[in-house]
Amino acid sequence: MRKFKKFFENEAAGGIVLIICAALALIIANIPAANAIYSKFLHFHIDLIIGGYEVFNLSFEHFINDALMAIFFVTVAIEIKQEMLHGHLASFKQASFPFFGALGGMVVPILIYFALTFSKPELIHGAAIPMATDIAFAIGVLSLLGKLVPPAMKVFLLALAVIDDLGAIVVIAIFYTTELNFLFLFIAFVAIVVMFIMNRRNVRPLTPYIIMGIITWYCLLHSGVHATIAGVLTGFLIPNRDIRGRNLSMEVLHYFEPYVKWFIIPFFAFANSGVTLGAIGDALLPNLDLILGIFFGLFVGKPVGVFLFTYVCSKLGITQKPTSMTWSMTFLVGIICGIGFTMSIFIVNLSFPGVLPEERVHIDIARLSILCSSAIAAIVGLVLLQINLKRHQKKIK
């Protein structure tokens, strides 16, 4: 029991569970008999009918991606808000270095993806795929190096990944919106305003926020704006301050964090990593630009963007590198940021609807490219950082 407890308390444990779930999905998807069950599981429909009115009808895959992931985004929003109010992003001086690193880590991968896929208009919508960093996975990989890691490096990666996620959320909200249903959008807006008023009035019970959050989610699900944005808005609007001895944001975060880490994200990885390799074998060469766009975006674009933007801004006097970090460390942290995984796969689902067979192929190839690119970034980043940090320790002794 102690070993189990020690494993689950380890920061790297979440990343290990993700890898196991993704690998399991890949294996199952490539065993015909198991794949048939896996496919039925994903396409099993969850219906809710009240008084003859169909409230919603979602496949289990969509329920995971649209409903369970909304809870994940609630926790992401609370963590971002916590960092902005009380943490590493609370002042411009603290936030500027990771901010410019995150900006470069978003812009350069998108430009690389565009450069490699511009000849195929159907692929352009996936430009945001390599801009995302998986916080849990990246921090988990860094934690494997233990005491070798300077505290400033961990803070830098955490703050950079948080800003990166915020950028991904903004991109999802702006660029992955379909035709709008203004009635549902208006009701969602009213629910958001109600939550804002409750926040300003210091409403203490959590239940009204949950009710308004569910209403917002349901309305956005039918509005054309992606439903998970409801999780982001709810997370931001739950008060992050003491109200008569209670901090509602921290209560929600501490309650949902274990479920997100050990259930929702692994379930998402399992549901979205099942690529049938035989089915896409003939499509790999014709879609080489998509593969290269994602691979070079994550593995090359991330470290180049992080390093380039921080270095230039530092030389211009706009920001300042932490003294305990070297420029080579900054570049190598950028390689770790190339672990896209959860957020990148999530954006794939938004980029390609998957209605037509060729769109389904794009989804499978993009998912496989993310898995391979993230694995390479994790291994290469881990090995090079270990070598670099050991050399650095010898120099300062």
Whether the Cβ atoms of residue 347 and residue 109 lie closer than 8 Å to each other: no
Concatenating the DSSP letter of every residue in 9-72 gives HSTTHHHHHHHHHHHHHHHHHTSHHHHHHHHHHHH-EEEEEETTEEEEEEEHHHIIIIIIHHHH
Question: Between the CA of residue 331 and those of 64, 75, 273, 371, 387, what are the distances in Å?
Answer: 35, 28, 29, 21, 14
Domains, the chain:
1-177+226-396 (1.20.1530.10)
End-to-end CA distance of the chain: give it in Å, rounded. 39
Structural tokens at position 330: 């900054």
- pLDDT at residue 212, as a whole number: 96
Concatenating the DSSP letter of every residue in 146-178 gives GGGS-HHHHHHHHHHHHHHHHHHHHHHHHHS--
Q: What is residue 230's DSSP assignment?
A: H
The torsion angles phi and psi of 12, rounded to 5 degrees, stand at -80, -15
Structural tokens at position 234: 């709810």
Amino acid type, 110: I
- pLDDT at residue 3, as a whole number: 60
- pLDDT at residue 280, as a whole number: 81
What is the rounded (10 degree) CA torsion for 383, 388, 390, 396?
A: -170
- pLDDT at residue 249, as a whole number: 92
Q: What is the pLDDT along the chain (397 residues), one digit of tens a residue?
A: 566 566 556 666 777 888 889 899 999 999 999 999 999 999 898 887 777 677 778 888 889 988 999 999 999 889 888 888 887 777 777 789 999 999 999 999 999 999 999 988 888 889 999 998 888 788 888 888 888 888 888 888 888 888 888 888 888 888 887 678 899 999 999 999 999 999 999 888 899 999 999 999 999 988 888 888 899 899 999 998 887 778 899 999 999 988 998 999 999 999 988 888 877 877 888 889 999 999 999 999 999 999 999 999 999 989 989 888 899 999 999 999 999 888 899 898 888 876 566 668 888 899 999 999 999 999 999 999 999 998 888 776 6
Chain position carrying tokens 């505290």: 151
The torsion angles phi and psi of 125, rounded to 5 degrees, stand at -65, -15
Q: What is residue 222's DSSP assignment?
A: T
Compute the distance between CA of residue 153 and CA of residue 133 in angstroms, rounded to an integer: 16
Structural tokens at position 37: 């069950």
- pLDDT at residue 275, as a whole number: 87
- pLDDT at residue 343, as a whole number: 86
Q: Would you call 344 helix, strand, or coil by DSSP?
A: helix
Whether the Cβ atoms of residue 135 and residue 88 lie closer than 8 Å to each other: no
Whether the Cβ atoms of residue 166 and residue 199 lie closer than 8 Å to each other: no
| Orientation angle between helical segments 151-175 and 69-86, nearest 10 degrees | 130
- pLDDT at residue 367, as a whole number: 92
Q: Would you call 294 helix, strand, or coil by DSSP?
A: helix
- pLDDT at residue 222, as a whole number: 87
Structural tokens at position 285: 């060469």
CB atoms within 10 A of CB 210: 14
Compute the distance between CA of residue 148 and CA of residue 213 in angstroms, rounded to an integer: 42
